[in-house]
Amino acid sequence: MSVIYVDQWCDALPKMWQAVGQTPDKIFVLTDEMTRVHCRSRLPISGEDVVEICIPQGDENKTLTTLSGVWEKLTHHGATRHSLLICLGGGVVTDLGGFAAAAFKRGIPFVNVPTTLLAMVDAAVGGKTGINFAGLKNEVGAFCPARAVMVDAGMLGTLSHENVCSGFAEMLKHSLLGSVEMWAEHVSCDPNDVDEKVMARMIRQSIEVKAHVVAQDPTERGLRKCLNLGHTLGHAFESLALEKGQPVLHGYAVAWGLAGELYLSEKLMGFPLERMRQTVRFIKEIYGDVRFECKDYDTLLDFISHDKKNVGSRVNFCLLRDIGQVALDIQVSREDITDAFDFLREGF
C-alpha cells in the first residue's frame, strides 16, 4: 500500500496510477451524500468511463443492504477485475467500499481518498475493511489494503471542530505509540488551531506510526494490537452513550478511553505519573468529561467483556510502560477497571 500526500492533484495522479499498476477499464467513484457535495469536486477524475456510486451517510448505513447496493451498481455497469473503485469519504465509505472491492469478483483494486481526519490517520490506512452485522460493529470484513491512500489535507476544509477533535484522538494515540517529541507536540496544541502546514506534517507523522506497525503485523496477530490503545475502554463508553440515546463521536470515546488506560498503565505498568497527568489534562480540556455514573459500571464491564478483541473469557488491554513502549495482552482485573472508572469520574 502506498500513501501519497497530495499537494497538487496533477502531481499526485501519476503516482496514483503507478500504485494502481494497471490502466483501469472503468473507474467507479464511491461517495456518501455529504462527501459527494463537499469533496467530490476536489477529485479531478471524470469522463465517460467514470461511474458515480453514492451511498447514504452514517455508520447506521454500513450494512449488508448498502454493500449489496454497491455490488449491484458494479455489476450493472459492467465492472471487471480490471476496474478500479475509488472510495472518497470517511471511515464508513472506506471500510464498506474496501470490502465491496475485496470481495467483488474475488477482488478488484481500490484506492482510498479519505475526507475526514479520522479516516486519514486511521480508517483508510492499514487494510481493515468491513461492515456492521447483526448489531455488531465491523463484524464481517477482510484485511485487504488499498492500492493507494491519497491524503489531501485540503479535503478537511469543511470538517466541523468536533470532527477535527475526533480524528485528533487517534493522532494522540499514535503520538503515545510514537515518540516523546510527537506526544509533547500533540498535548500542547489546540487541534482546531494548528497551522495548516504543521497539521499536514503531524498527519504524515501519524500515518507513518500506523503504517510502520501495520507493515510488521498486517493481520493483527501481535504488534498491531497496540493500535487498540484507548479502544477497550473507549468502545465501552461509545456503546454506553449509544444505548443511552446520546451518541458520541468515536474519537471522543477513544480520548476518554486513553485517559482511563493511561491511568491503568501508570498503576500497573509504571507509566510515568507526570506524563499521564499531562495527557489526561489535555484530554479533559479538549474532550470534556466522560459522562457515566456508578450505576453504569456493570453495563460498561459487560461491554468490555464482550469486546471482540478478547480471547476466551480474558479481558485483554494494550497498555504502555512509557511513551513508545507497549505492553500487549495485559489482563486487568475487574477491581482495577473499576478504579479506572472512579478515576475518570472523580479524579479526572
What would the DSSP string read from start to end of 73-97? HHHHTT--TT-EEEEEESHHHHHHH
C-alpha cell at 301: 464491564
Q: Which residues touch 131 (CB under 8 Å, ≥6 apart)?
A: 62, 63, 64, 66, 67, 95, 96, 99, 138, 139, 140, 141
Q: Does position 126 bind ligand GLY by CB under 6 A? A: yes
> DSSP assignment, residue 314?
B
Grid cell 506534517 is found at 201
How far is it, in rounded angstroms, from Cα 270 to Cα 273?
8
User: Between 267 and 296, how does the x/- string for binding to ligand GLY read (CB under 6 A)?
Assistant: ------------------------------
337 is an interface residue for ligand GLY by CB under 6 A:
no
238 is a site residue for ligand GLY (CB under 6 A): no
In this complex, which beta carbon is closest to ligand GLY, that of residue 109 or of residue 251? 251
User: Is 90 within 8 Å of 119 (Cβ atoms)?
Assistant: yes
The one segment of 41-49, 122-130, 132-140, 271-279 that binds ligand GLY by CB under 6 A: 122-130
Closest CA to 46 of 9, 91, 11, 15: 9
Check residue 174 for interaction with ligand GLY (CB under 6 A).
no
Name which position in 113, 131, 169, 227 contacts ligand GLY (CB under 6 A).
227
Cell of 113: 481518498
Q: Is 224 in the site for ligand GLY (CB under 6 A)?
A: yes
Shortest Cβ 127–ligand GLY spacing (Å)? 8
Which of these ranges, 4-12, 37-45, 120-128, 297-305, lies near ligand GLY under the rule CB under 6 A? 120-128
Nearer to ligand GLY by Cβ, of 32 and 95: the residue is 95
Least distance (Å) between residue 163 CB and ligand GLY: 17
Cell numbers representing residue 68 in the block: 449489496
Nearest distance from C-beta of residue 334 to ligand GLY, angstroms: 25
Binding site for ligand GLY (CB under 6 A): 122, 126, 128, 224, 227
